[in-house]
Amino acid sequence: MNLTMQQQTLSWDDSERAVWQTASERVNWQAEQTALLLCDVWNNHWCRGAVERLEAMVPRMNAVVKSARDRGATIVHAPSGTLDAYADTPARKRVLDAPPAEPPENFERADPPLPIDDSDGGSDTGEDPNKIDTRVWTRQHVGIDIDQERDVISDQGREIYSYMQHRGIDKMLIMGVHTNMCVLHRTFAIKQMTRWGVQVALIRDLTDAMYNPAKPPYVSHEAGTQLVIGFIEKFWCPTVLSDDLLRGMR
C-alpha cells in the first residue's frame, strides 16, 4: 500500500519563532502486516448531527474496507458496547481464538489537552446527553460489510493486540468516530496502540468529532474536527486520505 503520511512538526522560522509545519512522506505498508480498524461506526447515535455526518461517510468507508480486504489487510470491526449482537459469529470467535499476547510497557508520550472544549458532550444539534438515552446504538452500521470468513470483531484493546501479534501485524489504519473521544481514547484506538508500539495512521477524511461550536474555541464544527486532526498529527500519529488508500489498493 503506497500511502502519503501527513504529520506536523515543530520548527523555527527565519525570525527564530517556533512554528508548526505540515510535512508529507510517501511510505509503503504491506497489506498483510496492516489492520484496518473501524472505531464505533454504530447504527445510531443520540446526536442527530453525528448520525447525519456518519451516514454521509459510510459508503466511502465501506469502499475502503473492501479495497483493503481484497489486498490482504485484516479488517477489525470495533463497535463498542454491542458485541452481544456478534457473540456467535465466526468473526467474533476468530479473535477470541488467538493466543493471548502480553503488550509491552507503555511508551511515554506527551499528552497535552485537546484544542477544543467537548465538556458538554459535543452535540451541535441541541441534544443534552444528561437528559436522553445516550446508548441508542445496538450494532455496527449495516452499511459496513462484515466478511465472516476473514474479518474480526472486538472492542477490547488486548484482544485486538493479541490477534495482531498472532498474525504478524504491526501497523493499523483507523477510521470512525469520534475523533476527540473514541478514536483517541478507546483501549484499541490511537493512544493505546501507539503506546504499545503499533504504527498507527488516522484516515482523516473518514472521521468526525463531537464538538459544539458554542464552546471554545468557538469555531465551526468542521473547523473543530480539523483542530483535533491537527492535534493528532502533532502529538500521536500521521494521517492519510481515503483517496490515497483507494488508489493504492485497486
Domain ranges of the chain: 2-8+39-99+113-235+242-249
CA–CA separation, 189 and 40 (whole Å):
10
Domain 2-8+39-99+113-235+242-249 is found in CATH 3.40.50.850: yes
Q: What is the mean pLDDT of the chain?
A: 96
pLDDT digits (tens, 9 = 90+) for 190-220: 999 999 999 999 999 999 999 999 999 999 9
Q: Is the distance from CB of 175 to CB of 202 less than 8 angstroms?
A: yes
CA distance to 82, 114, 118, 121, 223, per residue, from 217 (Å): 33, 11, 10, 15, 10
CA 240 centroid distance within chain? 12
Q: Is the distance from CB of 150 to CB of 163 less than 8 angstroms?
A: no
Would you say the pTM of this structure is higher than 0.85?
Answer: yes
Q: How confident is the model at residue 134 (pLDDT cuts 50, 70, 90)?
A: confident
pLDDT digits (tens, 9 = 90+) for 150-198: 999 999 999 999 999 999 999 999 999 999 999 999 999 999 999 999 9
CA distance to 42, 65, 133, 151, 203, per residue, from 37 (Å): 13, 9, 26, 10, 10
- β pairing state of 18-28 and 2-12: antiparallel
